[in-house]
Structure 1
Amino acid sequence: MHKKQALLIPEDYNDFFYWVKERTEAFWSKSKSSNNTEGYPCPEWAEGAKWIGMTNEQIDSIEAKYGITFMPEHRAFLHILHTIDRKEVNEYEEEGETQTYQRSFFYNWLEDEDEIVSKLDWPYGTIFEDVSPSQGVWLKSWGARPASVEEKERIFADWYAKAPKLLPLTSHRFLVSQAGLADRPVLSVYGSDTIIYGWDLRLYLLNEITDHLDLYMPVFDEEDQCYYPEYRDELREVFDLAGQKLPGKDIPYWKELILYWSSGWSSFGLKPPGDNGEMVQPIMPTYVPEEQEATQKTFRTFG
């Protein structure tokens, strides 16, 4: 009997992106009916999918077109991976009927102009929607809250202009794009409720596309009589090691916003205030100006 070889997850970005390409495309080559006894089957929409990388010339032209700068690891991601050759299909229930919608697996910088323009504006627009109300979000470093919306926006716009820039990856996930930072994490931005989804692009992809990387194992629960997904041991080790490095991490400007809501505290390895050990916690503000009461976060539907 041959001992199963341990799964190696490369640390070097180029090696890692090629590993992602090989592993995902192998997973996508499995049909739903194939005999896949170890992991989960490939979704039908992804069967046979391939990555579409960009040339260096194309990446340069995109930077010029949008007036942005991709960091080295983002350029490598775009060159080796970028996006895939079909749209992701998602399903949801509405009034008892199954509805579907499609979106790019990762944004196609050569074709998704409308979506990219919208997402480049997303963090500013959606965060300011939470800041502008009279009892809205207000960071301690901003000083006294002014009465007028115009003055609030002036203060917010100055803060936003100084904060590390964000570039869209998919949905409301954004990679920090600023040289000289110790960490360039991926942020999940839903208005002011912003969290870190991965402290670097490698950790983010391992988190975002775990199923497509075939890094889940179905484990049968005798009590519930059903299967639940669990990380493969090698992935759990990567995340455990990353978790040990969280205390003391920082990201200029964004850290204060991330810690404004209790949902962001785990991004820095901190125990959220008011955590009583329950699995589900209300998302509460952790700084409240003197003139207002603490209220639970209410989510909006951003267009």
Structure 2
Amino acid sequence: MDSVQIVNKLTEKGVKFTTGLTHKEIDEIEVLYNIQFPPDLKEFLTFALPISDGFVNWIDKSKENIESITDRLNWPLEGIVFDIEHNEFWMKDWGKKPSSLKDAVNIATMYYNKAPKLIPLYSHRYIPSTPFEKGNPIMSVHQSDIIYYGENLFSYFLVEFNFKDYDHIDFENIKRISFWGDIINLWDDGEE
């Protein structure tokens, strides 16, 4: 499925679009937010920019919108920190959990900063920026409760917007993403 088909399907579901971003606008956005759109997201956003509620308004350069996008970019770390403080969350790979909250947050932040950056798409759905290739999975992120919500960008839209011809996620073929996949596996394995 390509961008034309997805935009047509999403339009049927009431999603509103405006003209896609130019390559210059994409470059400016990536610099402003210190992100890199993966190729399939970049292709989609240059074709058409979704502007309905819940979607990121990448073109709006108002102070309020820049703050909103920055908040959404920081939200995954804030959720992990919240769960460390309030819900005993800790990854075994991080070593023994320090008794000091400050030390625990510093360790988690160090690992988070090495992880692929998550780029917000819609609501609390994110796509990892790396690997820098097509087909990265979409994740639903709510604190450390992170699950796959699509094996790639286009299948995600079909699942998110309830298309009857596509109502499943092919979990067997989801690309593994470092750090984020470990958190997902933590919950899948019933560990913590």
TM-score normalised over the length of structure 1: 0.56
> What is the match of residue 148 of structure 2?
196
Alignment of 1:60-99 (within 5 A): 60-84=27-51, 87=52
Matching residue of 1:6: none
SS at match of 2:186: coil
Q: What stretches of structure 1 of length at least 5 have no aligned partner?
A: 1-9, 11-15, 28-41, 88-103, 216-230, 266-272, 274-285, 289-303
Q: Deviations over 1:166-222 (max 9, x none)?
A: 011111111100135795211111001111111211111111123xxxx3xxxxxxx
The 8 Å contact of residues 82 and 106 in structure 1, kept in 2 or not, is answered as: no
Provide the rounded CA distance (Å) in 2 between the counterparts of 1:186 and 1:259: 15
Larger relative strand fraction: 1
How far, CA to CA, are the matches of 2:21 and 2:83 in structure 1? 36
Structure 1 residues 255 and 50 mapped into 2: Cα distance closer, same or farther (>3 Å)? closer
Match of 1:22 in 2: 8
- What is the aligned length? 188
Q: Aligned Cα RMSD in Å?
A: 2.4
2-side partners of 1:146 and 1:245: how far apart?
36
Larger radius of gyration, structure 1 or 2?
A: 1
Matches for 1:5-154 after TM superposition, within 5 Å: 10=1, 16-25=2-11, 27=12, 46=14, 49-84=16-51, 87=52, 104-111=53-60, 112-133=65-86, 136-154=88-106
Residue 151 to residue 50, structure 1, CA distance change in 2 (3 Å) = closer
Take 1:59 and 1:175, find their aligned partners in 2: how far apart are those partners? 16
1:175 is aligned to 2:127: yes
Relative distance call for 1:24 and 1:137 in structure 2 (3 A) is closer
Q: Which has the higher helix share?
A: 2
Moved over 4 A (4+): 180-183
Q: Tell me how far apart the structure 1 counterparts of residues 138 and 10 of structure 2 sit (CA, whole Å).
A: 20
Structure 2 gaps of 5+ residues are: none
Q: 1:125 to 1:244 in 2, by over 3 A?
A: closer
Q: Distance in 1 between matches of 2:54 and 2:191?
A: 36
CA change 1:51–1:209 in 2 (3 A) is farther
Structure of higher RCO (CA pairs closer than 8 Å, 6+ residues apart) = 2
What is the TM-score when the length of structure 2 is the normalising length? Answer: 0.86
Q: 2:4 is aligned with what amino acid?
A: Y
Q: Distance in 2 between matches of 1:60 and 1:132?
A: 37
The answer to whether the 8 A contact 1:140-1:287 is kept is no
Aligned residues with identical type, % of pairs? 31
